[in-house]
Amino acid sequence: MELYEMSASELSLMLKEKKCSSEELTRSVLSRAKATEEKVGAYLTLCEESAVSKAREVDAKIAKGEKLSALAGIPIGIKDNISTKGILTTCASKMLYNYVPPFDAFVMKKVNAADIVVTGKLNMDEFAMGSSTENSHFKKTHNPHNLDCVPGGSSGGSAAAVAVGSAVISLGSDTGGSIRMPASYCGVVGLKPTYGAVSRYGLVAFASSLDQIGPFGRTVKDTAALFGIICGHDNMDATSADREYPDFTAALKSDVSGLRIGIPKEYFGDGVDESVKQAVMDTVRELEKQGAKLVDISLPSTKYALNAYYIISSAEASSNLARFDGVKYGFRAENYDSLTDMYEKTRSEGFGDEVKRRIMLGTFVLSSGFFDAYYKKAKLVAMDIVREFGEAFEKCDVIATPATPGTAFKLGENMGDPTKMYAADICTVTVNIAGLPAISVPCGKVNGMPAGLQFIGRKFSEQTLLNSAYAVEQLTGEVRPVNV
């Protein structure tokens, strides 16, 4: 087996036992990236030189016998909306085509301090708005399981890179499903942490009350290890939770006896592919055989979740993206005759269509005369969703649902119809609205494409989610990179 095919936990052991060096491993992953890039297109920036020099640094530390983190020397890819000091951070937008952050995001400080080797920046939907990564200004990313299909979005590059082996682990961000959906489409593991568990400092903001950074891995153990490194309190994010976290990998166990798994009927209704429902229920029934208890639950406000999500997220996006005006950083239009003209031309030429649609929707729902009918109602529905989850978690410990209503769709299939694209988020948006953690784990294949099972948990119950996903992984087997 090639080094790039192995999991981070296997590789970490090999590094410790000096069976390979971080430089060899990093070169293996970089050459895999170069070999697959034309077909998959996961990367926007490949950082060969800095990756190899960081790997050498780690090798020197290993040689000296220094005590290192669980993921020291392991190559990682980073979504391009996470600020990396000195490395281009474009958000896949023309607006930030030349932006080099003068600072590191909180998670990058953690990643660097843990001696994880950054291989580069990964493709995404522009400003994380989209469900297919087709909204990137720079390139399309293809699903490694079928190159005619999308990888999902918005963290499509992060999922595709891990699935094909051009990264061992990666970081993405999730505002309405942007980690879990591509994880499901690409057949890898993706965790959306509890709101506040991971600092958003340095994450280019889309919808601040919903955004959260999270890890991707081919295995649950790798995903747990990366989450353990990036979580924690940060003074620079006022919504960051101040609490202690356990050692997630050490506590990982696949024993589900006594675990109460809630099955919400609203997630198994119309609009969700029959074979996907089947794959999810088959898996959950296997867990039942091992001692888990299935509980029927209901989350009635789910039918309004998509409406509320697009209203709230677009409202926040319209104010967050006001900062892109061509003055301080990024793109500026060439010809203008006044300050206002410069703003308007810069924004019209710098943003893609989907971003413009969301900004205008946000402007609309916040504008006078419409605020009460849209934004205020959406915030009240959000409270109903929170309350219903609270009631459901009195009856169960985790909730199991499909991560996506179907498997990966074809490139171009939903590009003409924004509302059809938005419907792909139906299984994931409630989690962000309620600030809960959720994980997507592969649960077999449907018509040759991966299907994902989503576990939703109480706030800060990531360990329970990881354990549940670990139990599923025992059934399906650990994922290895796909051949393309």
Partner 1 sequence: MNIDVQHLAKLARLHLDDKEIEKFGRDMENIVAMVEGLPDTSGDASGLDPEHPMKLREDVISTEKITREELLSNAPKMQAGCVVVPKTVE
Number of H helices, E strands in the chain: 15, 11
Dist CA 245 CA 241 (whole Å) = 11
Minimum distance of partner 1 from residue 66's CB (angstroms) = 25
Residue 1 vs 238, nearer CB to partner 1? 238
Minimum distance of partner 1 from residue 104's CB (angstroms) = 9
Residue 419 vs 483, nearer CB to partner 1? 419
128: left (phi > 0), else alpha (psi -120 to 50), else beta?
left
Stretch that binds partner 1, among 98-106, 165-173, 183-191, 441-449 (CB under 8 A): 98-106
Residue 60 vs 360, nearer CB to partner 1? 360
Q: Which is catalytic among the residues 7, 83, 154, 170? A: 154
Residue 345 vs 445, nearer CB to partner 1? 345
Choosing from 14, 100, 295, 415, the residue that interacts with partner 1 (CB under 8 A) is: 100
Stretch that binds partner 1, among 23-31, 62-70, 151-159, 305-313 (CB under 8 A): 305-313
Catalytic site includes residue 314:
no
Minimum distance of partner 1 from residue 174's CB (angstroms) = 17
Tokens of 392: 């459901």
Q: Which is catalytic among the residues 79, 121, 192, 277? A: 79
Using the rule CB under 8 A, is 41 a contact of partner 1?
A: no
Rg (CA), the chain: 21
Catalytic site includes residue 338:
no
Choosing from 17, 49, 242, 394, the residue that interacts with partner 1 (CB under 8 A) is: 242
Q: How far is CA 372 from the centre of its chain?
A: 32
Binding residues among 102-121 for partner 1 as defined by CB under 8 A = 102-103
Secondary structure (3-state) at 446: strand
Residue 5 vs 413, nearer CB to partner 1? 413
Binding residues among 423-482 for partner 1 as defined by CB under 8 A = 435, 459-460
Residue 145 vs 192, nearer CB to partner 1? 192
- Which of 11, 29, 5 is CA-nearest to residue 68? 11
Q: Which residue spans within 94-203 are E strands per DSSP?
A: 117-122, 169-173, 189-192
Binding residues among 181-220 for partner 1 as defined by CB under 8 A = 194-196
Q: Which is catalytic among the residues 7, 28, 173, 178? A: 178
Binding residues among 326-385 for partner 1 as defined by CB under 8 A = 326-332, 336-345, 347-348, 351, 356-357, 359-361, 363-365, 367, 373-374, 377-381, 383-384
Catalytic site includes residue 79:
yes
**Could you tell me if 179 and 173 are in contact, meaning their C-beta atoms sit under 8 angstroms apart?**
yes
Residue 139 vs 379, nearer CB to partner 1? 379
Choosing from 50, 52, 68, 99, the residue that interacts with partner 1 (CB under 8 A) is: 99
- Which of 238, 240, 299, 246 is CA-nearest to residue 268? 299
Minimum distance of partner 1 from residue 444's CB (angstroms) = 32
Dist CA 8 CA 15 (whole Å) = 10
Minimum distance of partner 1 from residue 380's CB (angstroms) = 3
Which residues make Cβ contacts (< 8 Å) with residue 280, sequence separation at least 6? 268, 400, 401, 402, 443, 451, 453
Choosing from 239, 275, 290, 464, the residue that interacts with partner 1 (CB under 8 A) is: 239
% helix, strand, coil for the chain, step of 5: 45, 15, 40
Dist CA 97 CA 75 (whole Å) = 25
Minimum distance of partner 1 from residue 217's CB (angstroms) = 26
Minimum distance of partner 1 from residue 442's CB (angstroms) = 30
Binding residues among 244-303 for partner 1 as defined by CB under 8 A = none
Minimum distance of partner 1 from residue 314's CB (angstroms) = 9
Q: Provide the terminal-to-terminal Cα distance of the chain, rounded to the nearest Å.
A: 16
Residue 66 vs 417, nearer CB to partner 1? 417
Burial 405-430, CB ≥16 within 10 A → b, else e: bbbbbebebbbeebeebbebbbbbbb
Secondary structure (3-state) at 13: helix
# residues contacting partner 1 (CB under 8 A): 71
Burial 259-285, CB ≥16 within 10 A → b, else e: bbbbbbebbbeeebbeebbebbbebbe
Q: Dihedral, CA atoms, 232, 234, 238, 244, nearest 10 degrees?
A: 30
Stretch that binds partner 1, among 38-46, 76-84, 157-165, 318-326 (CB under 8 A): 318-326
Look at the block and give the residue holding tokens 């607006």: 95
- Among all residues, which ones are annotated catalytic? 79, 154, 178
